[in-house]
Amino acid sequence: MVAWTFPFSHPKCHEMETRGFRLTCLIPRFCILLLLPWVATAQRKLPAIFVFGDSLSDAGNNNYIRTLSKANSPPNGMDFPGGYATGRFTNGRTTVDIIGQLAGLTQFLPPYLAPNATGKLILNGLNYASGAGGILDSTGYILYGRISFNKQLDYFANTKAQIINQLGEVSGMELISNALYSTNLGSNDFLNNYYQPLSPIANLTASQVSSLLIKEYHGQLMRLYNMGARKVVVASLGPLGCIPFQLTFRLSRHGECSDKVNAEVRDFNAGLFAMVEQLNAELPGAKFIYADAYKGVLEMIQNPSAYGFKVVDEGCCGAGGTYKGVIPCSSLFKLCPNRFDHLFWDPYHPTDKANVALSAKFWSGTGYTWPVNVQQLLMS
């Protein structure tokens, strides 16, 4: 049996023997909070988990396409089990990785494009997320290759056919309807589309962009529902005006977040929340939940010491400007002295430690998800 270790945690956190994953705890009671749900879920059959999204959830799909958006070189992944770069845009695990662990998964979900993502392995779920991917097909064009949400849904349709081929129609659809689905999309539609000078939607107002994105997203989630999905976590956008890239681009003087960008994000998130309400009201058997990443991340920025952070306005790995907010992480750049003090790993993405805190809020917290948390969704 391999230990879950707590190598960067509070001194009173200690090692505990269980299933072979690393978990960063912030304070002792937080260690207990994260482990208790695992004990409960380990006693029952686990559902499959299917993940859609962008670089916040990408487990390595971009390793298999021609793109400028890659994270498959060190020091990315240095705190991932095994200590190697997997294509995840962080020093360790993504939020969906951690939620999978809390749900009781014994292995991380493979990326859909990986050669081994075939056969019985797909019955546990797959990850379709792609760095630079977005709700709109045009999103991420400046980074060349990416997998849009529409394409990710095409891939899931292929997976569904493979599952039914293996299990038969009845058992296959039972697996699909009982599975957990996660989506986090929209950040790139602003950062790598609307905010770019040659964007095909640059002529729209921010409010018009939000309306366009919500309309498209609604249709995409309807397609996912029509393919059999019922339990779906829809993550909001985080406070994009606070990420090191925007602090640099908007010439923040003292690390102040961009009020303009955050206001536009809140407008989108309000539409997203209303969309989740509408889907639950209109679709029989639908159990969509809204996960408030904006609130969860902003709390860490506004009260960093409560989460063990000292630096919330600068990436640990990257280059460019005061906040290391221009060029993503690579082995060419000097790493920050203590990455566990940092909320952000690079110009865009949280550290493993931040992802642990956010995952706990989504998994069993109150006030960060609506109408229930992820643990309750799984048990419903």
Closest C-alpha among 63, 46, 168 to residue 101: 46
At residue 17, the pLDDT reads 29
Spatial separation of the C-alpha atoms in residues 202 and 205, rounded to whole Å? 8
293-302 helix and 352-364 helix, angle to the nearest 10 degrees: 130
At residue 45, the pLDDT reads 74
Task: Please name the residues in contact with 62: beta carbons below 8 A apart, sequence gap of 6 or more.
Answer: 55, 69, 70, 71, 72, 87, 130, 131, 132, 145, 146, 147
Spatial separation of the C-alpha atoms in residues 327 and 313, rounded to whole Å? 15
How far is CA 163 from its chain centroid?
25
Query: Strand pairing partners for 182?
Result: 51, 233
Query: Strand pairing partners for 181?
Result: 50, 232
| Per-residue CA distances from 284 to 54, 229, 289, 369, 372 (Å) | 28, 11, 15, 21, 18
Residue 259 CB neighbours (<10 A): 10
149-167 helix and 169-178 helix, angle to the nearest 10 degrees: 140
Is residue 161 within 8 Å of residue 220, measured between CB atoms? Answer: no
At residue 6, the pLDDT reads 31
At residue 30, the pLDDT reads 42
Q: pLDDT in tens for each of the 380 residues of the chain?
A: 223 333 333 333 332 323 334 444 443 334 434 444 444 444 447 899 999 999 999 999 999 999 999 999 999 999 999 999 999 999 999 999 999 999 999 999 999 999 999 999 999 999 999 999 999 999 999 999 999 999 999 999 999 999 999 999 999 999 999 999 999 999 999 999 999 989 999 999 999 999 999 999 999 999 999 999 999 999 999 999 999 999 999 999 999 999 999 999 999 999 999 999 999 999 999 999 999 999 999 999 999 999 999 999 999 999 998 899 999 999 999 999 999 999 999 999 999 999 999 999 999 999 999 999 999 999 99
Report the sign of the C-alpha dihedral through residues 156, 161, 164, 170, in that order.
Answer: positive
The CB-side HSE value for 267 (13 A sphere, CA atoms) comes to 16
Superfamily of segment(s) 48-379: SGNH hydrolase (3.40.50.1110)
Q: In the 3-class helix/strand/coil scheme, how is 115-146 assigned residue by residue?
A: CCCCHHHHHHEEECCCCCCCCCCCCCHHHECC
> What residues are annotated to the active site?
55, 346, 349
At residue 99, the pLDDT reads 97
At residue 229, the pLDDT reads 98
